[in-house]
């Protein structure tokens, strides 16, 4: 007898998000402009993430040692790429809004120059550091929430990749993607100043870090520097994929240290058995054949 899918509702909400993000976009006063922004954003985002993931994966393949030891099954590149495309679809549906506003000449909070903003270079730097702290808190608590029984269904896909490749860096379900990237809409407010140069550095830095976090290997120089300021690394995040219940930090490791959610704080946390078994129960591993 077929087992009832415990994540049926989550799957429906995920589908609703995929369709709804475009549906809401079409409510824009200039729907065709919005669609153009959406399409361009999707092509650029997906192309960039795939290209970056491909480069990091090639680099990782040359490494002799993987964090989890030799692969016990082939990497799920295709599955990772499909889930990534869904996340980029949602992300594009969000940033299509500020892009369209800018194209229509409507003022947003995005500025290339600090002139007229009342900000100095120091203010901008402080806000940038504050932005990293805020994004880290947002993603850590989102991730903790997604590991509760009620919400894990939105996070299940990411944990099918126990020994991930960089193609899994952004391989999160549609609802999780919406939750993760929702803060990008803040830029729509003209007073929410986003200074272009630092914003670009943050975005490129976040994307690069995320690709590295899922590479499955370590780079000595990165592992030797980033932990000094509490920024996440591949060695740290890979443990989340092998153990699931620890190391939740996505940008930094501060909250894991504060909350005692690192592997070393939770002695006795066992690695997930192979093949990957998403929480909370082993029986959820099998995807019903109807759900593709
Ligand atoms: Zn997780």
Residue 292 lies in a domain: no
124 CA distance to ligand 1 centroid (A)? 32
Alpha-helical (H) ranges within the chain are: 8-25, 31-61, 77-103, 121-146, 174-181, 196-213, 220-225, 234-243, 254-259
CA 98/CA 109 separation, integer angstroms: 9
Residue 127 lies in a domain: yes
Number of other residues whose CB lies within 10 A of the CB of residue 265: 13
273 CA distance to ligand 1 centroid (A)? 16
What pLDDT shows up at residue 287?
Answer: 47
- Give 165-220 pLDDT, tens digit per residue: 999 999 999 999 999 999 999 999 998 999 999 999 999 999 999 999 999 999 99
| pLDDT under 50: residue ranges of the chain | 276-292
131 CA distance to ligand 1 centroid (A)? 22
What pLDDT shows up at residue 267?
Answer: 79
18 CA distance to ligand 1 centroid (A)? 21
Torsion of CA 231, 189, 204, 261, to 10 degrees: 20
205 lies in which domain range? 8-284
103 CA distance to ligand 1 centroid (A)? 37
What pLDDT shows up at residue 58?
Answer: 96
Residue 212 lies in a domain: yes
What pLDDT shows up at residue 2?
Answer: 61
Residue 289 lies in a domain: no
What pLDDT shows up at residue 115?
Answer: 85
75 CA distance to ligand 1 centroid (A)? 18
Residue 38 lies in a domain: yes
What pLDDT shows up at residue 277?
Answer: 44
- Asked if 146 contacts 154 with a C-beta cutoff of 8 angstroms, the reply is yes
CA 44/CA 110 separation, integer angstroms: 19
- The number of distinct structural domains making up the chain is 1
What pLDDT shows up at residue 151?
Answer: 96
Residue 2 lies in a domain: no
What pLDDT shows up at residue 50?
Answer: 98
């Amino acid at each position: 007898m077929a087992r009832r899918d415990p994540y049926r509702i989550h799957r429906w909400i995920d589908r609703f998000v995929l369709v709804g993000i475009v549906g809401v976009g079409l409510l824009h006063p200039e729907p065709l402009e919005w669609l153009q922004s959406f399409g361009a954003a999707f092509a650029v985002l997906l192309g960039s993430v795939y290209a970056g993931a491909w480069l990091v994966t090639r680099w990782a393949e040359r490494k002799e040692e993987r964090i989890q030891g030799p692969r016990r099954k082939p990497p799920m590149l295709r599955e990772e790429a499909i889930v990534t495309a869904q996340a980029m679809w949602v992300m594009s549906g969000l940033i299509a809004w500020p892009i369209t506003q800018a194209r229509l000449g409507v003022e947003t909070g995005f500025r290339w120059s600090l002139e007229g903003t009342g900000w100095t270079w120091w203010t901008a730097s402080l806000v940038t550091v504050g932005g990293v702290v805020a994004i880290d808190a947002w993603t850590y608590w989102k991730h903790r929430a997604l590991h509760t029984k009620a919400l894990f269904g939105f996070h299940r896909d990411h944990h099918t990749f126990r020994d991930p490749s960089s193609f899994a860096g952004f391989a999160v379900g549609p609802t999780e993607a919406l939750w993760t990237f929702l803060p990008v809409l803040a830029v729509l407010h003209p007073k929410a100043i986003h200074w272009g140069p630092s914003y670009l550095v943050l975005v490129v830095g976040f994307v690069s870090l995320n690709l590295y976090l899922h590479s499955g290997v370590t780079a000595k120089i990165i592992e030797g520097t980033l932990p000094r300021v509490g920024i996440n690394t591949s060695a740290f995040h890979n443990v989340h994929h092998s153990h699931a219940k620890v190391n939740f930090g996505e940008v930094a490791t501060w909250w894991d240290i504060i909350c005692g959610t690192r592997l070393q704080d939770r002695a006795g946390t066992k690695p997930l058995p192979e093949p990957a078994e998403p929480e909370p129960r082993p029986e959820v591993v099998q995807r019903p054949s109807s759900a593709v």
